Structure 1
C-alpha cells in the first residue's frame, strides 16, 4: 500500500511557494510582493531554499508516514 501523504505535502507546498504566484520574496520594488506573477533569479533561489526547508520539516522531522509496498 502506498501512502500519499508526502506526495500531497510536496504538491501543496510547490503550488503555494511558486515564486510570484501568491507572493514573491524578494520583490522587484519591495521586500515582499503579492500576486505579481513575475519572478527573478534571486526570488527563485529564496523560494527554493524555503521549499527545501519546509519539505525537510514536514516530511522528515514531523514524521509524515511513508509506506512502500506491493
Structure 2
C-alpha cells in the first residue's frame, strides 16, 4: 500500500503537543490590528489548542509528522 501523505496546509498551521492536542495561532492577528481594542489584541496573543474532535482530524491529516 502507498504511504499516507502529509497535508501541507495543515503542517504549516498546526503543531501537536505531547498529549496529542493540536496547537495553532489564533485568527485575526496578522494585520489591521490598529482598529482593535487593546483587550482584544491581548487575548489573541499566544497559541491555543483545538477541541478533541478537531485534534483527531488534524492528527490524521499530519500523518504522524508534527514539526
TM norm. shorter chain > 0.5: no
- Greater RCO (Cα-Cα under 8 Å, separation 6 or more): 2
TM range (shorter): 0.3 to 0.5
Which has the larger strand fraction?
2
TM-score (normalised: structure 1): 0.33
